[in-house]
Amino acid sequence: MKFVTDIKNTRQEEKKQPTKVYDTKDLNLWYGNTHALKNVNFPIYEKEVTAIIGPSGCGKSTFLKTLNRMVELVPSVHTSGTIEYRGENILDPNFMVEDLRTKVGMVFQKPNPFPKSIYDNIAYGPRIHGIKDRKILDDIVESSLRGAAIWNEVKDRLKENAYGMSGGQQQRLCIARALAIEPDVILMDEPTSALDPKSTLKVEELIQELKKDFSIVIVTHNMQQAARISDRTAFMLNGELIEYDYTDDIFQHPKDERTEDYITGRFG
Ligand SMILES: Nc1ncnc2c1ncn2[C@@H]1O[C@H](COP(=O)(O)OP(=O)(O)OP(=O)(O)O)[C@@H](O)[C@H]1O
């Protein structure tokens, strides 16, 4: 009987194990001679929020921008190791980076709407992907703005310039713009650091909603934020991944002294 129970338990555990969206293995990255990422290994799971924390210059943004290969915009960059996205190595020279860009949306630290109407900001990506039908674009604009919890605030001013919105609204517009391409993953680089506490709370609540449908990776300097909204946390230091675990374990029972020093504010 025990054997049967063991099999049942194992099966249930297997079922519970979420799917990996990314799997990073032995990743190294150099900017010229600067070794910015050192043997980084960790998975990112589907429909979870993964937070990346660590002191300034530890490689958080570099790692995030490697996940959509945006880091390659810096000419001196070279890498070794692999990053599998849904089983395909995105660092393989034959990998079609354009495909990745339609699957992975990105939201930056400072809201960066285009100097266009609210409507055109959202319709921009779908239009680039060849959608011209007005009715379809209208639907995408509405569902993306609804998805980013900003529809009710802007539905009567879609033709107005996005620069006329508050910072918090602009950031939710940028999240809506990322949603409009129907991404699989959303990368967020300190998305609330330029926002006031009220807008920050709105974006944090939004992230909790979005993880039902998307996998989210967020770089944050705000440890309370990481603790509040993420499922798993990666702590980086000097380009190395020091510790990666469930967020509760990282914050309540860190295994490495350096993690403990950082999260308790003892870090120099
Ligand atoms: N474009 C670049 N050219 C050369 N070196 C760079 C470039 N971008 C980052 N670096 C270097 O790579 C290392 C990691 O930087 P990165 O911006 O990823 O850190 P970070 O943890 O995101 O920092 P912060 O929290 O301050 O944003 C640093 O030593 C930085 O100086």
Q: In angstroms, what is the span from residue 199 Cα to ligand 1's centroid?
A: 27
Q: Is residue 235 in some structural domain?
A: yes
In this structure, which residue's CA is closest to atom 7 in ligand 1? 31
Contact between residue 122 and residue 131 where contact means Cβ atoms under 8 Å apart: no
Domain total in the chain: 1
User: CA 59 to CA 54: how far, in whole Å?
Assistant: 8
Q: Is residue 253 in some structural domain?
A: yes
**pLDDT band per the 50, 70, 90 thresholds, residue 9:** low
Q: Is residue 114 in some structural domain?
A: no
Contact between residue 79 and residue 65 where contact means Cβ atoms under 8 Å apart: no
Instruction: Give the residue, out of 28, 33, 60, 108, with the most ligand 1 atoms within 8 A of its beta carbon, to mutate for a pocket test.
Output: 60
Q: Is residue 78 in some structural domain?
A: yes
Q: Is residue 230 in some structural domain?
A: yes
User: What residues are paired with 35 via a beta bridge?
Assistant: 30
Q: Is residue 268 in some structural domain?
A: no
For residue range 103-128, list pLDDT tens digits in order: 999 999 999 999 999 999 999 999 99
Which CATH number do you get for residue 240? 3.40.50.300
Chain mean pLDDT for the chain: 92
In this structure, which residue's CA is closest to atom 25 in ligand 1? 56
ipTM tops the 0.95 cut:
yes
User: Can you give the residue range of the structural domain that contains 243?
Assistant: 18-109+185-263
Q: Is residue 174 in some structural domain?
A: no
Q: Is 35 in the pocket of ligand 1 (CB under 6 A)?
A: no
> What is the structure's pLDDT at 10?
54
Q: For residue 5, what are its two tokens? A: 């129970």
* End-to-end C-alpha distance for the chain, whole angstroms: 55
Q: pTM for the whole thing? A: 0.91
Q: Is residue 31 in some structural domain?
A: yes
In this structure, which residue's CA is closest to atom 24 in ligand 1? 56
Task: Please name the residue that has the structure tokens 């958080």.
Answer: 60
Q: Is 66 in the pocket of ligand 1 (CB under 6 A)?
A: no
In this structure, which residue's CA is closest to atom 2 in ligand 1? 31
> What is the structure's pLDDT at 265?
87
In angstroms, how far is CA 170 from the centroid of its own chain? 18
Q: Which atom of ligand 1 is nearest to the CA of 32?
A: 4
